[in-house]
Amino acid sequence: MKILYICHRFPFPPKRGGKIRPFNMIRHFQQQGHEVFVASLARNKAEAAEGEGIKQYCSHYYAAVVSEPVQFARMILRLPLLTPSSMGYFYSPDLAKHINQLLAEQQFDLIFVHCSSVAQYVAHVTDIPKILDFGDMDSQKWLAYREFKPFPLNLGYLLEGLKMLRAEKQLATRFDLSSCTTKAELETLQSYQKAPATDWFPNGVDSDYFCPDPQNLDYEMHSISFIGRMDYYPNQQAMLQFCAGAWPLIRAKLPDAKLYIVGAEPSKEILALAKLPGVIVTGSVPDVRPFIRKTAAMVAPLKIARGTQNKILEAMAMGVPVISSSEAAGGIDAVVNEHFLIADTKEELARQALRLMTEPELRSRYAKAGRERMLSNHQWRYSMAHLDTIVNRCIDLHATKQLTQQEVQ
Q: Output the CA torsion 32→33→39→42 (10° steps).
A: 70
Residue 190 lies in a domain: yes
Average pLDDT, the chain: 95
The answer to whether residue 170 scores a pLDDT higher than 70 is: yes
Tell whether 387 and 367 lie within a shared domain.
Answer: no
Give φ, ψ of 228 to 5 degrees.
Answer: 160, 155
C-alpha dihedral (358, 360, 361, 366), degrees to nearest 10: 90
pLDDT confidence of 111, banded at 50, 70, 90? very high
- Cα–Cα distance, 308 to 142 (Å, whole number): 17
Give the CATH number of the domain where residue 312 resides: 3.40.50.2000
Please check the confidence at residue 104 and state whether its pLDDT lies above 70: yes
If you average pLDDT over residues 175-193, what whole number do you get? 95
Whether residues 25 and 123 share a domain: the answer is: yes
Residues 52, 104 within the same domain:
yes
Q: What is the pLDDT of residue 151?
A: 85
pLDDT in tens, 4-41: 999 999 999 998 878 999 999 999 999 999 999 999 99
Cα–Cα distance between 48 and 40 in angstroms, integer? 10
Instruction: Give 197-242 pLDDT, tens digit per residue.
Output: 999 999 999 999 999 987 777 899 999 999 999 999 999 999 999 9
Contacts of 21 (CB under 8 A, 6+ apart): 114, 133, 135, 181, 203
Q: Decide: 161 and 142 in contact? Cβ < 8 Å.
A: yes
CA-nearest of 319, 312, 311 to 293 is: 319
CB-CB contact of 92 with 66 (8 Å): yes
Tell whether 301 and 281 lie within a shared domain: yes
Backbone φ, ψ for residue 209 (5° rounding):
-80, -50
If asked whether residues 231 and 137 sit together in one domain, one would say no
Q: How many domains does the chain contain in total?
A: 2
Q: What is the mean pLDDT of residues 123-139?
A: 96
Per-residue model confidence (pLDDT) at position 215: 74
CA triple 74-79-80, angle to 5 deg: 125
In this structure, are 351 and 402 located in the same domain?
no
**Residue 72 is assigned to a structural domain of this protein:** yes
Instruction: List the domain range (segments joined by +) for residue 27.
Output: 2-202+380-408
- The DSSP line for 259-308 is EEEE-SS--HHHHHGGGSTTEEEEES-S-SHHHHHTEEEEEE--SS--S-
Phi-psi region of 134 (alpha: psi -120 to 50; beta: other; left: phi over 0): alpha
Question: Does pLDDT of 307 surpass 90?
Answer: no
Task: State pTM to two decimals.
Answer: 0.89
Are 305 and 392 in the same domain?
Answer: no
Confidence band, pLDDT 50/70/90 cuts, at residue 150: confident
Q: Does some domain include residue 210?
A: no
Mean of the pLDDT values across residues 137-159?
89
pLDDT of residue 409: 66
To 10 degrees, what angle do helices 17-31 and 380-408 make? 70
Question: Is the model's pLDDT at 404 over the cut of 90?
Answer: no
Measure the CA–CA gap between 407 and 121, rounded to whole angstroms: 29
User: Does one domain contain both 240 and 305?
Assistant: yes
Q: Give one DSSP letter per residue of 339-381, joined into a string.
A: TBEE--SHHHHHHHHHHHHH-HHHHHHHHHHHHHHHHHH--HH
Are 233 and 360 within one domain? yes
CA 372, CA 241: separation in Å to the nearest integer? 31
Count CA atoms within 13 Å of residue 304 on its CB side.
Answer: 21
The values of phi and psi at residue 232, to 5°, are -100, 120
For residue 207, is it within any domain?
A: no
| Shared-domain flag, residues 276 and 371 | yes
Q: DSSP code of 152?
A: T
Same structural domain, 102 and 244: no
- How far is Cα 242 from Cα 138, in angstroms, rounded to an integer? 25
**pLDDT value, residue 106:** 97
What is the rounded (10 degree) CA torsion for 193, 194, 199, 205?
Answer: -100
Residue 402 has pLDDT above 90, yes or no: no
Query: Exposure string (b/e) for 152-164, b if CB count within 10 Å is 16 or more?
Result: eeeeebbebbebb
Q: Is 208 a domain residue?
A: no
Question: What whole-number distance in Å separates Cα of residue 99 and Cα of residue 96?
Answer: 5
Domain-located, residue 400 = yes
Contacts 24+ apart (CB under 8 A), 123-127: 123/171, 123/174, 127/402
Let me know if residue 214 belongs to a domain. no
Burial class (CB in 10 A: 0-12, 13-18, 19+), 320: buried
For residues 193 and 256, membership in a common domain is answered with no
Considering the domain boundaries, does residue 179 fall inside one?
yes
